[in-house]
Amino acid sequence: MTPHISSKKEDIAKIVLCPGDPLRAQYIAENFLQNPRLVNQVRNVLAYTGTYKGKEITVFASGMGMPSMGIYCYELYKFYNVDCILRIGSCGAYDESLNIFDTVLVEKSYTEGNFAMALNNKNCHIVDADDNLNSVIKETADSNNIKCIPANVFCSECFDYYIEDLNILLNRLPKNLKISAAEMESFALFYTAKYLGKKAGCLLTVVDSHYNKQAVSADEREKSLNNMILLALESSLKL
């Protein structure tokens, strides 16, 4: 147990899928896992462990933002001996070629924040996903005919709908990274995984777009992300 997780060590699988939303964790458990059991509800951050095609999987909500993700992934890696965490979340498109409900596989995560400095005094703002894990996901996407778009993302500390002038932000992002989308958790996950010698990846579904002015409801965000969920689960079978 930790201050944030009430599970016994044996309650948590070696592979964890991390949606941000606790209700999305519940949705995945009830619709995709066999014999799911609730293994954490501290602060209503729900986690379930069950099996997918015979393999034990935990689905554990991370909450929103890098501080929340940083707490949960650190504790899962450090105190529950989790080997691999795959974030499955939503993002906003900063590339006009991305459409609503496209599935994005994150390769690099960039932040302007100081998560790395806070954790271990490093001036780091760009971190990669695990290459081997991403290779498995790409192969799995191909074999299951799921379109999956590799991309670099901006990991923000502020929900971009509330940013005073998004164009100023877009103009100061590093041009060489060709950032295609924004979300709020991947940097903390990737950086913590590398710090602790673990594996991490991130799949995202596009739910709004800076260019196309499309958006989806909260209910659609919860229930209409099945391609990403299936890709994460099928990839987990090969880990």
Residues noted as catalytic: 208
Inter-residue contact 69 to 185 (CB < 8 Å)? yes
Distance of alpha carbon 137 from alpha carbon 122, whole angstroms: 29
Helices (H), 106-225: 115-120, 131-143, 166-172, 186-196, 218-223
Distance of alpha carbon 236 from alpha carbon 86, whole angstroms: 9
Distance of alpha carbon 169 from alpha carbon 112, whole angstroms: 10
Residue that has been written with the tokens 């509800």 in this structure: 41
Beta-bridged to residue 179, according to DSSP, are 152
Helix (H, G, I), strand (E, B), or coil: what is residue 160? helix
Where do the DSSP E strands lie in 12-129? 15-18, 34-40, 47-52, 55-60, 84-93, 103-110, 126-128
* Torsional class of 8: left (φ above 0), alpha (ψ -120 to 50), beta (otherwise): beta
Nearest to 83 by CA among 14, 3, 152, 7: 14
